[in-house]
Amino acid sequence: MLSLRTPRHILRASKAITCRNFSSSPVNAAAAEVKKIGVIGAGQMGLGIALVAAQKAGLTVRVIDNSQASLDKGLKFADKLLQKDVGKERITKEQATSIRQLLIPSTKMEDLSDVDFVIEAVPEIPDLKNKIFGQLAEICPSHAILATNTSSISITKIAAATSKDPTNLSAPSRVISTHFMNPVPVQKGVEIIIGLQTSQDTIDTALDLCRKMGKIPSQSADSPGFLANRILMPYINEAIICLETGVGKRDDIDSIMKNGTNVPMGPLQLADFIGIDTCLAIMKVLYEETGDSKYRPAVLLRKMVDAGWLGKKSGKGFYDY
């Protein structure tokens, strides 16, 4: 903690660090121009990011997945969203065709050799992400920003996976998280998470790209749960504790939060949409990495995962689907 006796040069340094990590000021001239991006992962999240980049920012997007079936399914999802926009007269058929042509699918990571910015959106498996970022450090140009869509894994650790290539020593400084909120075409928020090695130029470029995609970025330090999940998951967990201890019934818990705090969805219904297993996994990360008992997962949360009641995706959670 800084005291009134702290020398001025230390105060100035502390202020600079604070501004670097948490400032929401406009992007400066250090932001590099991004013309072509890559997205790794053709699931709902990855295709959502790719589609918004093409539709809002007019960028060519190479969509990479190791499964051709996943690519085909993802592109059908993109087609469905574009046709929906045409039906609502948000865009014309010609515009939909032009946007669709900007999405270039591939099963080869090597096709990212000419991108300016890449966003990884694969499952939250640390070893998988570390492997991908080690490959990106070798494949991508030396100026390319390497971003992850992780919602829980340390950015500093992911960045360290890129330092194994001695010919590309700048790679860790170009790693950052652009954590898009789901569903990407609808939600405006993007959480920009800054690792220990992340350079200011990388931050500026990521902020600039997100704004061009029509998003509203918020910055977070590399801390367990970052901002969104650090706040959201304990809220959901406490709602589950209220249910399991009889403080309130399911409908009453969701109703009071919707009608009392003006949120569009109650915490239990929201947990179903996020995935009960995902909620448990994030609570475990918060609990294990902080050691703070306030992050201990609810007993009922663990039991529901054991039962396979994972929410909307499994057909049953706190609600039936």
Average pLDDT, the chain: 90
Closest to 194 in 3D by CA, of 221, 170, 172, 173: 221
More confident: 190 or 170: 190
List, as residue ranges, the binding site: 41-46, 65, 124, 129, 151, 182, 313
CATH number of the structural domain spanning residue 232? 1.10.1040.10
Q: Are residues 80 and 164 in the same domain?
A: yes
Q: Are residues 72 and 200 in the same domain?
A: yes
Q: Are residues 60 and 209 in the same domain?
A: yes
What per-residue confidence (pLDDT) applies to 213? 98
Containing structural domain, residue 303: 228-314
Residue 321: inside a domain: no
Q: Which of 163, 191, 199, 220 is catalytic?
A: 191
* Catalytic residue list contains 143: no
* Catalytic residue list contains 191: yes
Q: Are residues 86 and 171 in the same domain?
A: yes
List, as residue ranges, the binding site for NAD(+): 41-46, 65, 124, 129, 151, 182, 313
- Rounded to the nearest 10 degrees, how much is the dihedral formed by the CA atoms of 114, 58, 221, 45? -90
What per-residue confidence (pLDDT) applies to 116? 98
Q: Which of 177, 179, 220, 237 is catalytic?
A: 179
Q: Are residues 106 and 171 in the same domain?
A: yes
Q: Which of 149, 154, 229, 237 is catalytic?
A: 229
Q: Are residues 165 and 285 in the same domain?
A: no
Report how far residue 299's alpha carbon sits from residue 277's, in angstroms, rounded to the nearest whole number: 13
* Catalytic residue list contains 151: yes
What per-residue confidence (pLDDT) applies to 124? 86
CATH number of the structural domain spanning residue 66? 3.40.50.720
Residue 9: inside a domain: no
Q: Are residues 47 and 96 in the same domain?
A: yes
More confident: 125 or 16: 125
For tokens 């130029």, the residue is 201
Q: Tell whether the model's pLDDT for residue 46 goes beyond 60.
A: yes
Q: Are residues 118 and 175 in the same domain?
A: yes
**Which pTM was predicted?**
0.84
Please tell me whether residue 257 adopts helix, strand or coil conformation.
helix
Give how many domains the chain has, as a whole number. Answer: 2
